[in-house]
Every structure is written in C-alpha cells, then in structure tokens.
C-alpha cells in the first residue's frame, strides 16, 4: 500500500511557472488539450497571479499561494462546468500566469522635436527622453483588454503604445508649464511627477500601474546648443582684451617651437614678439610709475555768439571779437539789443555780463595830430 501511495504522490499534477526572462508579462500554462487533473496542485509565487479561462470565459483568479484544485477551490469554474457532488475527473481550462512584479527601465523619448515658445530665445525645438516603470495592477483587465489569447506576452508588445501615450502627455505638460529653457533642468522631477499623475488613470484602463516616470534629459538642437556654448564661453572669458593677449602669446610660443614653419613662422614669431614686447613694456612702465596713458583731450567749446537787432532786423550771430570791432567802429553800443541761445528774450548789451568787458576795454579817442613845423 505504501508503494502505491508513493506512486500516486509522484503522479500529482503540478501547475506552476518559473520565469527565466525579464520581459515576460503573461505566460499560458501549456498542457495537451488543456486537460488538468482534478486535485492537481497549483503553485502561484510572489509577483504572480493565475487566471483560469474556460471556453473563452474568465473564471477563477488565484493570488500567491499553493492550492489543490478541487470543487471547493474552483467555485466559478465549478459552476461553469456544472460539476455534481463527488464528481472527480480531469477538466479542461486554460491557465494564464500573469507577472505582477515591476518592469523597470522602460525607455521613452520624443521621435520628433517639440516646438515651444520660450520667453528668452523665442521659438525653440526640444527633444526629451527618460525611463519609466510599470506593473500589472489588475490581471483580469489586463488579460481582457490587452493580452487576449496571446500565450507569451512580453513588454515589447505594449511599450510602444505606452511610450506614445507618455510622449503625448509630456508634450502637453511641457508646453503648458511655460518653464524657461534654461530652467528646465531644475524641474525634471516636478515634470515627471506631474505627467505621472496626469496619465495614471489612462494606464489603469489597460490594467497597468505607472510606478515611476523619470525625465533624464531635455535638449536643444545641436546648432542651438553650439551657439549657447559660444555665449557661455564669452561669459567665462570675461575680459576679451586680456584673453586676446593671452591667445597671441600662446600662438607666438607655438610658432617659436615649430621649426618646420620655416621663415614664415620665424617672421610671424618676430612680428608678434615685437608687438607683445611693446605692449608689455607699456604695461610695465605704467605699473612702475603709476601713471595712466595720456587721455585724448575733449573738443574745444564752441565760441559764444550773439544776434544783434539793427533797424528791426536780426543780424549775426557775432562772436566777442567781432562785437569788439563793432564797438570800436561805433556800430555796436551798450543800448544795442542782443540775444543768444539760452536767453529768454532780447536784452540791452549793457545788461549782459559777458559783454561788459568789450565796452570797458575800448581805447580812448586818438590824440590830435601834431602841429605842422614852422617855416
């Protein structure tokens, strides 16, 4: 009797799935004619769920654990098959094992640049990429809506659809955020969390949970990045004059150390050497004496000129030397009316301080001629 009990134990039907891959989401338990012995042992490991399908209808769902497939453990399937009390015989059913673990490091990225309007740079085109993680949250919905009768369903069969969904919602979120291009790197986490919350319900329609969405990089086109690098380089260089002198000195040293350059290299080195020597001498002289290089004088001020009213007509403008000559000729007096830019109106010459000197400095009348000599 012990021998037959041992043999009977070895013939017990065991239904289980050991996944040796890292991308299989659903695996159908293969059995000839889908025939399963009554009393078989079902082993569902952590990170798995087992679904029984009978004649196209989803029946029982088993969470992690070990089960003996009997009438009391298969309530829905027992109802579908119409088993009677004490009815023990093989039954036909499809068993789908669904992996409920997390599938991480799934890639997403924009196929074409996203065109946005930036406050500083104007219209720009951005590319973005990152990673995300998923897990099957509702095995029954996932089997009905996505898997169907696929006996070996992998992540590659759904990641394209999920990636397109992420890119679409990410583009909308990036455009609505109005974040300046130069500040995007400081908001990767906020963008990822926002998109995650926004599309979580859409993933649940597939029976999938979006566990994490990461934005790894948002980049500009290569030409724009090159221009931005040049702009950054100018900021790092700072004093362009000092940088030019440094570059000239480096070129002179390189030319002097290049004997293959021949006479041209020697001539260039000498010319640059004389120029640098002059600049260094001037700089050292200024540093030793503390004197600054002579400044260019400003242009001389414009001469003061006045308009003079003569018989109801405006004449001039005349500078001070011309007016002094008119005083000596008697055509310009203290009562003559004058005006220049800045004066409110015509004013007698005697009331203008700048003209007082030409009247006081007028010479006295010439002496009378000497008497003729006596005959």
In the sheet that holds 41-44, the strands lie side by side as 14-15, 41-44, 65-68
In this structure, are residues 59 and 52 in contact, taking their beta carbons and an 8 Å threshold? Answer: yes
Q: How far apart are CA 100 and CA 122, in angstroms?
A: 46
For the stretch 298-317, pLDDT in tens is 777 777 788 888 877 888 78
- pLDDT for 109: 93
In this structure, are residues 37 and 8 in contact, taking their beta carbons and an 8 Å threshold? Answer: no
Distance between first and last Cα of the chain: 192
For residue 319, what are the contacts with CB-CB under 8 A and spacing of at least 6? 303, 304, 305
Asked whether the predicted pLDDT for residue 240 surpasses 80, the reply is no
In this structure, are residues 210 and 104 in contact, taking their beta carbons and an 8 Å threshold? Answer: no
**How many other CB atoms are found less than 10 A from the CB of residue 108?**
21
Q: How far apart are CA 287 and CA 282, in angstroms?
A: 8
Backbone angles phi, psi at 258, to 5 degrees: -115, 85
Q: How far apart are CA 314 and CA 333, in angstroms?
A: 16
Backbone angles phi, psi at 361, to 5 degrees: -90, 5
Q: On the CB side of 372, how many CA atoms lie within 13 Å of its CA?
A: 2
Burial 312-341 (b: 16+ CB within 10 A, else e): eeeebbbeeeebbebbeeeebeeebbbbee
Strands 122-136 and 114-118, bridge-based pairing: antiparallel
Rounded to two decimals, what is the model's pTM?
0.56
Following DSSP, what letter does each residue of 267-305 receive, concatenated?
HHHHHHHHHHHHHHHHHHHHHHH-PPPPPPPPPPPPPPE
- pLDDT for 88: 59
Q: How far apart are CA 101 and CA 104, in angstroms?
A: 9
In this structure, are residues 146 and 207 in contact, taking their beta carbons and an 8 Å threshold? Answer: yes
- pLDDT for 7: 36
For residue 170, what are the CA distances in angstroms to 22, 173, 217, 294?
27, 5, 13, 62
For residue 236, what are the CA distances in angstroms to 228, 230, 239, 240?
12, 10, 9, 10
- pLDDT for 349: 79
For the stretch 251-264, pLDDT in tens is 777 766 665 555 54
The encoded tokens of residue 90 equal: 């093989």
Q: How far apart are CA 341 and CA 273, in angstroms?
A: 55
- pLDDT for 273: 55
Backbone angles phi, psi at 351, to 5 degrees: -90, 0
Consecutive H or E run containing 201: helix 188-204
Asked whether the predicted pLDDT for residue 44 surpasses 70, the reply is yes
- pLDDT for 9: 40
- pLDDT for 362: 53
Q: Mean pLDDT score of the chain, rounded to an integer?
A: 79
For the stretch 135-173, pLDDT in tens is 999 999 999 999 998 999 999 999 999 999 999 999 988
- pLDDT for 259: 58
């Amino acid at each position: 009797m012990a021998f037959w009990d041992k043999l009977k134990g070895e013939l017990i039907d065991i239904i289980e799935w050991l996944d040796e891959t890292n991308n299989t989401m659903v695996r159908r338990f293969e059995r000839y004619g889908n025939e399963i012995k009554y009393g078989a042992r079902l082993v569902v490991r952590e990170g798995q769920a087992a679904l029984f399908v009978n004649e196209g209808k989803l029946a029982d769902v088993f969470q992690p654990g070990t089960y003996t497939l009997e009438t009391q453990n298969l309530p829905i399937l027992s109802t579908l098959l119409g088993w009677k009390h004490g009815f023990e015989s093989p039954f036909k059913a499809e068993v789908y094992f669904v992996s409920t673990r997390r599938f991480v490091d799934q890639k997403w990225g924009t196929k074409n640049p996203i065109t946005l309007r930036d406050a500083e740079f104007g219209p720009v085109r951005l590319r973005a990429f990152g990673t995300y993680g998923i897990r099957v949250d509702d095995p029954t919905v996932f089997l009905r809506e996505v898997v169907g009768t696929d006996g070996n369903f992998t992540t590659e069969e759904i990641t394209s659809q999920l990636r397109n969904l992420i890119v679409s919602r990410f583009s909308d979120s990036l455009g609505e955020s109005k974040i300046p291009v130069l500040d995007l790197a400081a908001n990767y986490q906020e963008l990822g969390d926002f998109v995650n919350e926004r599309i979580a319900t859409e993933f649940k329609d597939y029976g999938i949970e979006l566990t994490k969405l990461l934005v790894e990089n948002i980049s500009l086109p290569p030409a724009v990045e090159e221009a931005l690098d040049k702009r950054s380089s100018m900021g790092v260089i700072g004093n362009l004059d000092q940088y030019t002198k440094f570059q000239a000195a480096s070129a002179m040293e390189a030319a002097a150390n290049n004997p293959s350059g021949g006479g041209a290299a020697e001539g260039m080195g000498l010319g640059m050497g004389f120029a640098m020597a002059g600049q260094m001498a001037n700089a050292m002289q200024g540093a030793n004496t503390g004197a600054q290089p002579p400044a260019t004088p400003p242009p001389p001020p414009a001469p003061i000129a006045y308009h003079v009213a003569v018989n109801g007509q405006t004449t001039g403008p005349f500078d001070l030397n011309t007016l002094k000559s008119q005083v000596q000729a008697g055509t310009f007096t203290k009562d003559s009316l004058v005006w220049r830019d800045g004066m409110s109106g015509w004013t007698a010459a005697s009331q203008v301080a700048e003209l007082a000197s030409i009247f006081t400095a007028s010479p006295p009348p010439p002496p009378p001629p000497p008497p003729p000599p006596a005959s």
